[in-house]
Amino acid sequence: MATTSITTGDTTASGTTDGRSLRAARTREAVVEALLSLNDEGNLRPTAREIADRAGVSLRSVYVHFEDLEDLFSAAAAKQFERLVTLYEPLPTDGPLPDRLDAFVSQRARIMEAAAPVRRAALLQEPFSPALAQVMALTRKAGRDEIERVFVTELERERGAAGERLRASLDVAAGPGTWETLRVHDGLSVEQARLVVTEMLTKLLASG
């Protein structure tokens, strides 16, 4: 009987701990999703109260599960990065350049549209958050690596400083900063912006 009692007690304690851990994970996830949702709506610097209200948790819960807002913003950026990775599809690395360009720009447009709201918020916080800066650096590197793979044939024709200039030019032309300018400041549609980026890349690769 004593042995049974101890075993039952341990099981109950373990179940209680697991339940608390699960609730904590759900609360943390809800808070992160709340921040991303607010960013998507254009609220780039929501307060802790706004985040808590959107998540349906107490203000105290936000600070229980995150050390500070920087910690929360970093977690949200990491979550967004995970989501964007799922949008990437293998792109052709050989074959006609027009086909590779079309696949590359179409995917870039889709990803940059999805990432734009959270990216704007992340840029505001990046100078003050080493963790967030690291996530942003990984995102930028992923973009450069993709350019290297898709346009390897054209890039191999250029050596030394000329090759580095071409890489940098492609990175800027196909980057989120350019996309933001075309979509927000120039007021172009997604399709119009896609055509502009395609034209810029075509000219850069032709001159390389």
The CATH classification number of 21-66 equals 1.10.10
**Residue boundaries of the structural domains of the chain:** 21-66, 84-206
pLDDT tens, 9-63? 555 555 566 778 899 999 999 999 999 999 999 999 999 999 999 999 999 999 9
Dihedral (Cα; 91, 96, 97, 98), 10-degree rounding? -90
| pLDDT tens-digit map of 76-132 | 888 988 888 888 899 999 999 999 999 999 999 999 999 999 899 989 989 988 888
- One-letter amino acid at 154 equals E
- How far is it, in rounded angstroms, from Cα 208 to Cα 202? 10
Is 123 buried (19+), middle (13-18) or exposed (0-12) by CB count in 10 A?
middle
pTM for this entry: 0.80
